[in-house]
Amino acid sequence: MSNTTYSATSGIQQEERLLFEHAHEAPESISLPGVQGKAPSSLDVFKRKSAANIPGLSEPETVRHFVRLSQWNHGIETGFYPLGSCTMKYNPRVNEQVARLPGLAHVHPDQPEDSVQGILGLLYELQGWLTEISGFKDVTLQPAAGAHGELVGLMMIRKCLDARGEQGRKKVLVPDSAHGTNPASAALCGMYTVEIKSGADGRIDLDELKKHLDDDVAALMMTNPNTAGTFESDIKEICQLVHDAGGLVYGDGANLNALVGVARPGDMGLDCLHINVHKTFSTPHGGGGPGAGPVAVNDTLKPFLPVPRIEKDGDVFKVVTEDKQSIGSVLSTLGQTGVYMRANAYISAFGHNHIHKIAQDAVLNANYVLSRLKDVYHVPFEGLCKHECLLTDEWQNKHGVKTLDIAKRLIDLGFHPMTVYFPLIVHGAMLIEPTETESKETLDSFCDAMLEIAAQCEAGDTQALHDAPVKPIRRRLDETQAARKPVLVWSD
Amino acid sequence: MRYLPHTNSDRQAMLESMGLHEIMDLFTDIPKEFHTKLGSLDLPDALSEAGIVKKFTKAAEKNRHAGNTRCFLGGGTYHHFVPAVVDYVISRGEFLTAYTPYQPEIAQGTLQALFEYQTMIARLTGMEVSNASMYEAATATAEAALMARRVTRKTRTVIAGSVNPRYRTVTENYLSRLEGDYVEVAMGEFGTDLSQVIDAIDETTACVIVQYPDFYGSVYDLAPLREACDAHKCLMVVAFSDVSAFGLIESPGAYGADIAVGSGQALGIPMAFGGPHLGVFACKQKYLRQMPGRVCGLTTDADGKRGFVLTLSTREQHIRREKATSNICTNQGLMCTAASTYMTLMGDAGLETVANHSAAALDLLVSKLPNGVVAADGAHYNETVLTFASQEKRDAFISEARNNDIFAGIPLETIEKGAEQIDGNRHLLVATTEMIEEDDISDYIQAMEVAL
């Protein structure tokens, strides 16, 4: 069997000890600027009795340590990264360059307003663009990530209902395909969630929804396209039903990449939407963060937006810190402004004339992958997908192969696996989101790998799947052992 | 469009392979009435890469920044030195462009860096375990209050009025939709009077939150608080704004804190107008299973080699859903790698030097204050409150300093609502770091003398 179309190979991989295992004593300390004195004697009684025991390596050793670690990682710059509902698209380098300009990176958040007009202008501009792209009336930049945005959205919904005298509404409806953050955010808001069972097509079932609509309903939280990668075509009716019952509709914008420039959630009747700028607007995921989760709102929720926020008064940008109806603040500062610099640069690169190509190519790529794989992998929900496609391991199960084996085998072939075992509404889910920044060549190579894995299953040649991965620096890791006796810090 | 690899013929070939003709055939499941006319959004024309650089450079030049001023601003964000290696490491694509390490075999780099981060944070704060970050200090403080409710099954939260007002506001906001009292203990002075805080604790209290050094930079003995928390079976939560303090002064853990939370921005992370920063969250091992956020743990692989995975995920939202310990998912992962790199370069000696220089600068500044300006009493780390004869005098100094490229401090009332109730808007919160040189302090004092 030829591996020539796949990129994975075994080069030199350097093992690297933990920092704490470097044998020698810390070298002379880095030279530091400032007042070259000691702390005042008034602090003497408060001094540490023993050193913290932070290792301290020389600069060359530090660089080598972290570069070696970096080489054990797969990033979007390394290769294909089709994690469903995560939108792992290319992160433009120029965005990194401009975000690091001293006039943006080294600005203190409490500088006087007249000294920060440039950065306030960029943030204000982005507020306008996010509002326009999502089809709402205003936006808050304060939430630090998607889940934080969910909390803010629900806080606004809570406050809006309270203002209507509807304190008793505490039920939040969540489709069974929802992200786990949805119910967790509702709980933080003092509300409880009720799961709505998806219909046979993976979408919200209107009859099922109606059963749960009563005087207790505060909100429906929905993701559209949903986590099965399909568009909720009944969106208008869904919003109407919830509104008629006295509730509001919260949009989880994790999957906005499917719609950018092509359709706007705000036009469809939703009351608010959080946007994951670290997905849709290309800001780097950084191995888990930072992200940012701005929330766009319609007129119903606009009075309740958090403070502080940025407004424009003539030619001057101002930070508004107080507002009677506001839910208050959810962060120490205006938000993850460094992340927003990158998002602004990203939208700048597309402009009105190209922005829709994001959704078009993202959806094209997902459907192309689906069309190449649908004859050999079980597709639970027929029809067009949006920016991601959902498969299951049903047909491979009869050969004793599970989603996990397929995922790990992909690693040996040079690809990051897709999202596995999510959404929970199908058994053995494989959710593939290629994004718009992948070439046809890459998609074909990935599909070839998937077809090859399916063929190996059919041929009963499955040992390599169960053994996988063998090429990375580590093989399958024992998660049970890690959880049973957790070791979270090193002891010498 | 330079970020999209397809040519039009690629697109056509792909569509034809699916039996489709044009790209909008892929969007027929979206009702027609919701289709946006392509190109109609109110956005500017696309910019070239050179155009983007020009636009941002122009905007950046409108701002003043720590590179062309002397920054005496603190209040939760500090201008510490960032070694070049830190930015290099976090710019590497393998760290920068990786997702959350859900496939541990190809994310060992991120995972080992997180394990090292957790270890170093635990050591620096004197705690037994650390998570892999929260968004920033205010949300970390709020999460500590929520965690204390779970651990103690009690609902009353006591917080000292000398905790950063922004942390208090966010904590109160988080708690306001849940049952239970939220009690702020007003201090009436620029420091922490622990006896007042202790008096506010009762049997129904889940936790008491203090800041150390406090919002005003004051350093004080936390020992009495541990006794009071033991007496009332509540958790002792210690918040902090500038973690660099613990290179020098005793850690929250040494005083017996149950949870330590605060900002790790000082560890090699630029101020960036407020974020992304780093929320530190550390606690005692026995409370581990109630801790919010991701954690990385040690394990072995199929060949018996040491490796790392995200663990204890049964606490987290993607497994536990509404019963999760927090709704947090995306955190500040890359900032952990930055902090790890920074601490590795510094070591104990470097961290102690940063703290010494930061504190020495404030001490020098205070020692030179002219008549008519008074610094708060007591031991301070790198931040204090200066009180002027009047608001006019203070503001005259702020603008004279500004004329000399100095950001002199934060007028206290801009952060602390009601600060004027103490005795008028005549207070200035001033902070120093190792980036402040002796000359800067001379210029600062000179501006003061000119203005007064």
Q: What is the 3-state secondary structure (H, E, C) of B50-72?
A: HHHHHHHHHHHHCCCCCCCCEEC
Closest chain A CA to residue B355 = A39
Choose the mutation target among A62, A91, A108 for the interface with B, i.e. most B CBs under 10 Å: A108
Positive or negative CA dihedral for A10, A14, A15, A16? negative
Mean pLDDT of chain A: 95
Please state the three-class secondary structure of A206-228 as a single string.
HHHHHHHCCCCEEEEEEECCCCC
Evaluate if residue A92 carries a pLDDT over 60.
yes
B37 vs chain A: nearest CA distance in angstroms?
7
Q: How confident is the model at residue A30 (pLDDT cuts 50, 70, 90)?
A: confident
- Quickly list DSSP for A7-64: ------------GGG--SPP-SPPP--S--SPPPGGGGGGB-SS--------HHHHHH
CA-based nearest residue to B128, from B309, B265, B214, B256: B256
pTM for the predicted model, two decimal places? 0.97
Q: Identify which of A103, A332, A353 has the shortest CB distance to residue B39.
A: A353
Give the phi and the psi of residue A127 in degrees, each rounded to 5. Answer: -55, -45
Question: How far is the alpha carbon of A395 from chain B, nearest alpha carbon, in Å?
Answer: 23
Chain A residues lying within 8 Å of B3, measured CB to CB: 89-90, 92, 282, 349, 436-437
B13 within domain boundaries = no
Per-residue model confidence (pLDDT) at position A4: 56
CA–CA distances in Å: residue A40 to residues A357, A412, B378, B385 = 61, 58, 11, 17
Residue B28 located in a structural domain: no
Domain boundaries, chain A: 107-354, 357-480
H-type alpha helices, A100-234: 102-105, 117-134, 146-163, 181-188, 206-212
pLDDT band at B322 (very low <50, low <70, confident <90, very high): confident
Three-class DSSP category at B395: helix
Spatial separation of the C-alpha atoms in residues B38 and A353, rounded to whole Å: 8
- The length of chain A is 492
Say yes or no: B384 and B407 in one domain: yes
Q: Which tokens sit at A66?
A: 């972290």
**Whether residue B318 sits in one domain with residue B179:** yes
Question: How would DSSP label each residue in A329-382?
Answer: -SSSSS--HHHHHHHHHHHHHHHHHHTHHHHHHHHHHHHHHHHHHTTTSB-SS-
B313 shares its domain with B233: yes
Determine the pLDDT at residue B280. 98
DSSP string, A243-266: HHTT-EEEEEETTGGGTTTTB-GG
**Measured between CA atoms, how close is A271 to chain B, in angstroms?**
16
- CATH code of A107-354, in short, is 3.40.640.10
pLDDT band of residue B419 (cuts 50, 70, 90) is: low
Label each residue of B434-448 as H, E or C. CCCCHHHHHHHHHHH
The band of A9, judged by pLDDT with boundaries at 50, 70 and 90, is: confident
Straight-line distance from the first to the last Cα atom of chain A, in angstroms, rounded to the nearest whole number? 47
Which whole number is the average pLDDT over A194-201?
Answer: 94
Q: Look at residue A107 and tell me whether its pLDDT is greater than 70.
A: yes
Does one domain contain both B335 and B400? no
* Paired sense of beta strands B235-240 and B205-211, if any: parallel
Q: Please give the Cα distance from B130 to B119 (Å, whole number).
A: 7
Choose the mutation target among A42, A80, A113, A332 for the interface with B, i.e. most B CBs under 10 Å. Answer: A332
N-terminal to C-terminal alpha carbon distance within chain B = 59
Query: Per-residue confidence at A1, pLDDT binned at 50, 70, 90?
Result: very low
Which CATH number goes with the domain that contains B367?
3.90.1150.10
**Contact predicate A216/A168, CB 8 Å:** yes
The kind and range of the H/E element at A236 are helix A235-244
- Does A28 score more than 90 pLDDT? no
Closest-CA distance of chain A to residue B200, Å: 25
- Phi/psi region, residue A290 (left: phi>0; alpha: psi -120 to 50; beta: rest), is beta
pLDDT digits over A461-490, tens only? 999 999 999 999 999 999 999 999 999 999
The residue of chain B nearest to residue A99, with distances taken between CA atoms, is B56
Query: Could you give the angle at which helices B108-125 and B333-367 cross, rounded to 10 degrees?
Result: 30
Question: Do the Cβ atoms of A362 and A168 come closer than 8 Å?
Answer: no
Strands B182-185 and B205-211: unpaired
Residue B208 and residue B352 share a domain: no
For residue A425, the model assigns a pLDDT of: 94
Residue B202, in any domain of the structure? yes
Domain that holds residue B395: 70-79+346-451
Name the phi and psi angles at A5, rounded to 5: -85, -10
Write out the two tokens for B394.
Answer: 């203070």
Choose the final residue of a domain: B320, B343, B366: B343
CA B307 to chain centre: 29
pLDDT over 80 at B441, yes or no = yes
Residues B174, B110, single domain; the answer is yes
Tell me: pLDDT of A381 over 90: yes
For residue B319, what pLDDT is reported?
80
Tell me the nearest-neighbour CA distance from B203 into chain A, angstroms: 24
Whether residues B377 and B302 fall in one domain: no
> B168-187: b or e for each residue (b if 16 or more CB lie within 10 Å)?
bbbbbbbbebbeeebebbeb
DSSP3 helix / strand / coil % (chain A, rounded to 5): 40, 10, 50
Q: Which residues of A touch B314 (CB under 8 A)?
A: 483
- Residue-level pLDDT at B421: 60
List CB contacts (< 8 A) between B127 and chain A: none
Tell me: pLDDT of B418 over 80: no
Q: Per the domain annotation, does B369 fall within a domain?
A: yes
Query: Residues of A with CB below 8 A from B68's CB?
Result: 102
Last residue of a domain, one of B343, B361, B381: B343
Residue of chain A whose alpha carbon sits nearest to that of B29: A233
Model pLDDT, residue A5: 64
Residue for token pair 């770091």: B433
Looking at 3.90.1150.10, 3.10.20.30, 2.60.120.1440, 3.40.50.1220, the CATH number of the domain A357-480 comes to 3.90.1150.10
Testing the interface with B: which of A21, A107, A387, A481 to mutate, by most B Cβ within 10 A?
A: A107
Report percent pLDDT > 90 for chain A: 92
Question: Exposed, middle or buried: residue B42 (CB in 10 Å: 0-12, 13-18, 19+)?
Answer: exposed
Does any domain span residue B41? no
Mention every residue, 6+ apart, whose C-beta is less than 8 A from residue A335. Answer: A123, A140, A141, A142, A143, A144, A292, A294, B274, B275
Residue A24 has pLDDT above 80, yes or no: no
Three-state SS at A310: strand
Considering Cα of B66, then B72, then B74, then B78, what sign does the dihedral take?
positive
* Distance from C-alpha of A128 to C-alpha of A123, rounded to nearest angstrom: 9
Alpha carbon distance B332, A336 (integer Å): 10
The pLDDT of residue A148 is 96
Say yes or no: B378 and B434 in one domain.
yes
Q: Give me the residue label for tokens 């020992």.
A: B223
B427, β-bridge pairs: B387
Which tokens hold the place of B83?
């070694």
**CB neighbour class for B22 (10 Å; exposed up to 12, middle 13-18, buried from 19):** exposed
Q: Is residue B50 part of a domain?
A: no
User: Are residues B318 and B258 located together in one domain of the fold?
Assistant: yes
For residue A295, list its beta bridge partners: A140, A274
Q: Quick one: what percent of chain B has pLDDT higher than 90?
A: 93
User: Does residue B373 sit in the same domain as residue B389?
Assistant: yes
In this predicted model, what pLDDT tens digit does every residue of B218-253 receive, in sequence order? 999 999 999 999 999 999 999 999 999 999 999 999
Name, in order, each residue with C-beta under 8 angstroms of A202's C-beta and a sequence gap of 6 or more. Answer: A177, A226, A228, A230, A380, A381, A390, A425, A426
Chain B residue numbers with beta carbons less than 8 Å from the beta carbon of A347 are 43
Contact A486 B108 (CB under 8 A): no
Write out pLDDT tens, residues B269-315.
999 999 999 999 999 999 999 999 999 999 999 999 999 999 998 88
Number of folded domains that form chain B: 2
Judge whether B133 and B334 are in contact, CB under 8 Å. Answer: no
Q: A78 is written with which tokens?
A: 């390394």
From start to end of B225-341, where are the E strands?
A: 235-240, 259-263, 279-283, 295-300, 306-311
Return the residue matching tokens 């350093």. B219
Q: Which residue, of B319, B343, B367, is where some domain finishes?
A: B343
Spatial contact of B237 and B148, defined as CB atoms under 8 Å apart? yes
- The closest of B133, B356, B79 to B245, measured between CA atoms, is B356
pLDDT band at B424 (very low <50, low <70, confident <90, very high): confident
Give me the half-sphere count of Cα atoms (radius 13 Å) on the Cβ side of residue A297. 25
Residue B156 located in a structural domain: yes
The residue among A36, A66, A158, A480 with the most chain B CBs within 10 A of its CB, best to mutate, is: A66
Give me the pLDDT at residue B169, please: 97
User: In terms of domains, do B177 and B273 share one?
Assistant: yes
pLDDT, position B291: 96
ipTM for the predicted complex: 0.97
Q: Which two tokens stand for residue B206?
A: 């889940």
Any long-range contacts for A464-467 (C-beta under 8 Å, 24+ apart)?
A464/A409, A464/A412, A465/A401, A465/A405, A465/A406, A465/A408, A465/A409, A466/A401, A466/A405
Average pLDDT value over all residues in chain B: 96
Provide the pLDDT confidence category of residue A218 given band limits of 50, 70 and 90.
Answer: very high
Q: Is residue B242 in some structural domain?
A: yes
Q: How confident is the model over A67-93, as a mean pLDDT?
A: 97
> Do residues B170 and B295 share a domain?
yes
Min Cα–Cα distance to chain B from A470, Å: 9
Query: Model confidence at B316, in pLDDT bands (50, 70, 90)?
Result: confident
pLDDT digits (tens, 9 = 90+) for A268-285: 999 999 999 999 999 999
CA A95 to chain centre: 18
Peptide bond into A225 cis (omega under 30): yes
Question: Which residues of chain B have a CB within 8 Å of the CB of A74?
Answer: 94, 98, 103, 106-107
Length of chain B: 452
Question: Looking at residues A88-109, what average pLDDT do you find?
Answer: 98
B44 neighbors B134 (Cβ within 8 angstroms): no
Q: Which of B56, B103, B352 sits opposite A345 (nearest CB)?
A: B56
CA trace torsion A276, A280, A282, A283 (10° rounding):
-10
Question: How far, in Å, CA of B283 to CA of B134, rounded?
Answer: 13
pLDDT bracket for residue B422 (50, 70, 90): low
pLDDT digits (tens, 9 = 90+) for A408-445: 999 999 999 999 999 999 999 999 999 999 999 999 99
A485: burial class by Cβ within 10 Å (0-12, 13-18, 19+)? exposed
